[in-house]
Amino acid sequence: MSRPRRWLEELLANSRYSVLIAVIGSGLTGIAVLFVATVDVLTLLRDAVHYADFNVPLETRVAEHDLMIAHVVEVVDGYLLGAVLLIFSLGLYELFLGNIQKLRTSASKILVIETFDDLKDRLAKVIVLILIVNLFRDAISIKLVRPVDLVAQGGAIALVAIAVYLSGRSGTHQTPEPRSE
């Protein structure tokens, strides 16, 4: 093999280390999002103590209840987004740079990513969860005025249920065994 060709192949093989930028960036962003969601939890707990004050008028308590539920949904959304970023970071590392043996032996299968399809499948499932959480947040704040509003909300929930069902089935398909002739 010629020297320029070996040099080019080595350069191309080592270019995979540029993915470290995305691995580190998405990992740090995931940790930051998890931190923000945790601060939101602490804020929620502080507000929950105020909610327990029985001298607060009923109208105020109902309004605070709705705000707290929306806040809980936002916290769940934040944790899911942080998880997506961490899964993405670990998946890129696994695909381009090598195995994370420690995680492989002690973590769940969600962290074992061997192909782009594995990464895409894991991310898609968590993104569907984020969309469900966002739909729930929007659904609790919508005031149903006309009968068609109720039908539209029911249709949205049905579509989400179908998406969850289909995403659950996507991981269960098996590739057929090759035929021996």
Look up residue 114 and give its two tokens: 């061997």
* 69 has pLDDT over 90: no
Please name the residue ranges forming H helices in 97-146. Answer: 101-106, 116-141
Check: CB of residue 22 under 8 Å from CB of residue 92: yes
Instruction: Tell whether the model's pLDDT for residue 33 goes beyond 90.
Output: yes
What's the confidence (pLDDT) of residue 29? 96
pLDDT at 181: 43
Write out pLDDT tens, residues 34-67.
Answer: 999 999 999 988 888 877 777 878 777 777 877 8
In the block, tokens 């998406």 appear at 163
**Mean pLDDT, range 86-114, rounded to an integer:** 70
Following CA atoms 66, 159, 41, 62 in sequence, which dihedral angle do they give, to the nearest 10 degrees?
A: 10
User: Each residue of 105-119: pLDDT tens digit?
Assistant: 555 555 566 777 777
Is pTM beyond 0.75? Reply is no
AA identity, residue 95: L
Rounded-to-integer distance, Cα 117 and Cα 180, Å: 27
Q: What is the pLDDT of residues 122-154, one digit of tens each?
A: 777 777 777 777 777 777 777 777 778 778 877
The yes-or-no verdict on residue 15 having pLDDT over 90 is no
Mean of all residue pLDDT scores within the chain: 78
